[in-house]
Amino acid sequence: MDIGLVVSLLVVLATIYFLLKQYETRLVLIGAGLVLALFSFDPMAALDAFAKRMTSGSLIQAICASMGFAFVMRYTRCDEHLVKLLSKGLTKVGIFIIPAATVSTLMINTAIPSAAGCAAAAGATLIPLMMRAGIHPAMAAGAVLAGTIGSLLSPGMSHNAFVANMADMTVVEMIAYHSPFSLTVMAISVVGVTVVALVLKDHVYDGVSETAEEGADAVTSPNLVYALCPFVPLAILLAGNSFYPAMKTGVPQAMVIGCLLALLFTRVNPAKLTKEFFSGMANGYGEVIGIIIAASVFAEG
């Protein structure tokens, strides 16, 4: 067997092992990429990939703008209004509250591509709601977690932007291509959490339902306009790339328009909103772009 193939397989297996052991992802990927590049006697290949991804304009723009938008939605509390609107009446549907909560989270995560931000917004409302309806706390959390794959259909998801950039496609074209497969995975997720709840009888748990209360400052009456703000960029991108070409624009422009409309409707402090937007952009670059750069080094190696 070719020694190069053996070394490559060993490095890949070691990479998987260290990732499963929850070592720092970027360190593992960059280290593995450097080892492979050194073994191939081309150490600069990995470093060149590092530099190239740092200046990948379309990738950085899409991800940073999307993270900025997610921070603005959190600051204006539009995400909370969306969650509250989608959760109205769920306590009356029995066990179907579990798939309904997962579907609601899927929709929220499509509009707000940050899985952490979506889980925080949806979990704060949906988990206490399900617990009061007699759902086991672990199942309530699992139903929300299962919905955080909704970002697969979001133009702001880093993976969509990364793959679209590699395939020389627009983000919307990329999503249109994989949406049938992604929707199938989402359907399996929704059905799966419901079946698990039935098998484990997690829908008849009443151990802590009486203590599951929302925060004192929780949104009690959702504003429809506020709740629709998270979907503005998605609507602009879909309309511009399908039936209304005059509206066609990039992901960063759509995210900024969404932020401006949120500012107009919610009338929050413009200076604080701007600060939140750029804080989100910085967060997006530091966390998400770091992972993508590291993955590029590994792939080049």
CA quadruple 19, 21, 27, 30: dihedral, nearest 10: -30
> Residue 265: what pLDDT?
92
49 found inside a domain:
no
52 found inside a domain:
no
Q: Indicate the average pLDDT of the chain.
A: 77
**Do residues 36 and 178 share a domain?**
no
More confident residue, 256 or 294: 256
Does residue 1 carry a pLDDT above 70?
A: no
pLDDT tens, position by position, 56-81: 555 667 777 778 888 888 889 888 88
- C-alpha atoms less than 13 angstroms from C-alpha of 245 in its C-beta half-sphere: 0
Using alpha carbons only, how large is the chain's radius of gyration in Å? Answer: 21
For tokens 């060993």, the residue is 10
Identify the band that residue 264 occupies on the pLDDT scale cut at 50, 70 and 90: very high
Indicate the number of domains in the chain. Answer: 2
pLDDT tens, position by position, 134-169: 788 888 888 888 888 888 888 777 778 778 877 888
Q: Which domain holds residue 17?
A: 3-41
222 found inside a domain:
yes
pLDDT tens, position by position, 212-253: 455 556 667 888 898 888 888 888 877 876 777 777 777 788
- Which of 42-46, 93-97, 236-240, 249-253 has the least mean pLDDT? 42-46
Pure H helices in 136-250: 137-146, 158-166, 171-200, 224-228, 232-240
Ramachandran area for residue 157 (φ above 0: left; ψ -120 to 50: alpha; else beta):
beta
Whole-number percent of the chain with pLDDT over 90: 4
18 found inside a domain:
yes
What is the average per-residue pLDDT within 272-300? Answer: 68
> Residue 211: what pLDDT?
47
**Do residues 71 and 27 share a domain?**
no
197 found inside a domain:
yes
User: What one-character-per-residue DSSP string does 218-279 give?
Assistant: ---S--HHHHHGGGHHHHHHHHHTTT-GGG---HHHHHHHHHHHHHHHH---HHHHHHHHHH
Is pTM, for the whole model, over 0.75? no
Task: Name the token pair of 127.
Answer: 């988990």
